[in-house]
Amino acid sequence: MKYDFTTRLNRTGTGSAKWDDMYRKAPELGFGIVPLSVADMEFKNPPQIKQAISDWLEDAVLGYTDPTDEFLDACVSWQRRRHGWQAESHWIVPTAGVVPALFNAVRSLTKPGDGVIVQPPVYYPFFKSITEQGRTIVRNPLVRTTLDDGTPYYRMDFEDLEAKAKDPANTMLILCSPHNPVGRVWSPAELRQLLDICVRNDVIVVADEIHDDLIMPGHEHTAIMSVADVGEYDHVLVATAPSKTFNIAGCQASAIFIPNDDVRDRFRKGLDLVPASELNCFAYPATIAAYTKCDDWLEELIQVVSANFDFLRGFMGTYLPELVVYPMEGTYLAWVDFNAWGLSTEELQSFMEKDALLFLDEGYVFGEEGAGFERFNLACPRDVLEESLERLVHAAKERRLGSFAKGGQA
């Protein structure tokens, strides 16, 4: 490997949100435990990005900044080159993160009281963007199923979606593509069907494609814009960002593609009402470098994350076979069903944090449909993952959970 995906980082005391959260939950924790929760990576950034920021800083005046043509071109070219669809640069509205963009879309494109459809279990700020702004959550839960070869799998429930979309009170759907936390990379047919239903029923689709670059070997991301017809553009917004892909969430850079002039105008006016919604000045050089100089880093990252997933699945299959590991087609987040242990959500969380010293994202935060699940962040060096899973199996044995009930060996 050309890049470093093995050095263990110690982010204690660096202001890392993920690490600080772990120490808030377990202040007595010593060194050596790495949290596998919040979706940023335990890897160093691509050196090209740091170099670009440092080169840029030499001559920069750190005043108010607007997106440059170079930034807009980098975002458009990335989508064309990596995801096969052609945008126009004036469609882009930069925002200081995808979550602020989702909040703004809900606020500026729906009315108080409107229903916004989500597909839980799903990234929890989707819920907040709806409830905290006086709109109503409308659930179109994903359905758990099994493929012919026995693989556990999630599908969309289109019949239910059609029923929800038909209700004129429901005016927006927030799509997570690829899906956090269940790891699905939606197929062109699934996205086409979703668009058909939404457009026919005048429901705006806000497609959160922040994980679009994190696609595991054998799978391919379909950008919703690549299956949308021009006549459907007024119903689609796409949120993209280099933040997950290159671990630069702290730079707060996102590009929201809004092809329809009127929708874009309403979205922009909504942003104008929010003080400090501009990107910080580092967002621009970081994004340009990410989208023009880091393809080889990303290829290596995907190999590392994919191998980590294979390791996790193999490990669980050997030592904790009662747990259900869902395929991780995209993202670097593995979704595992612990319901076979029969613990309440509180008991499961307490077991993870106190017995196994594992700091994960608890499934219930993604909605009631995630109760009894855990989300493992696999963007970490292999030895961190191995140690984490060994702690898990050791603690399960101590507590005689699952295969270890009745003192049996797994």
Residues that bind ligand PLP (CB under 6 A): 39, 97-99, 123, 176, 180, 208, 210, 241, 243, 249, 254
CA distance 38 to 285: 25
Question: Residue 97 or residue 120: which is nearer to ligand PLP going by CB?
Answer: 97
CB of 244 to ligand PLP, least distance (A): 6
> Angle at the Cα of 380 (from 377 to 381), degrees rounded to 5?
150
Tell me the three state secondary structure of residue 166.
helix
Q: Are 92 and 152 in contact (CB under 8 A)?
A: no
Question: Residue 177 or residue 306: which is nearer to ligand PLP going by CB?
Answer: 177
CB of 102 to ligand PLP, least distance (A): 7
Question: Residue 211 or residue 235: which is nearer to ligand PLP going by CB?
Answer: 211
CB of 398 to ligand PLP, least distance (A): 32
Question: Residue 3 or residue 103: which is nearer to ligand PLP going by CB?
Answer: 103
Query: Within 13 Å, how many C-alpha atoms sit on residue 188's CB side?
Result: 7
For 342-354, letters b (16+ CB in 10 Å) and e give ebebeebbebbbe
CB of 380 to ligand PLP, least distance (A): 15
User: Pairing relation of β-strands 143-146 and 152-155?
Assistant: antiparallel
Chain centre to alpha carbon of residue 133: 22
The β-bridge partners of 254 are 95
**Of all residues in this chain, which one has the CB nearest to ligand PLP in the complex?**
97
CB of 99 to ligand PLP, least distance (A): 3
Question: Residue 249 or residue 320: which is nearer to ligand PLP going by CB?
Answer: 249
Question: Residue 334 or residue 396: which is nearer to ligand PLP going by CB?
Answer: 334
CB of 122 to ligand PLP, least distance (A): 8
What is each CA distance from 26 to 14, 105, 156, 270, 358, in whole angstroms?
17, 37, 38, 40, 11
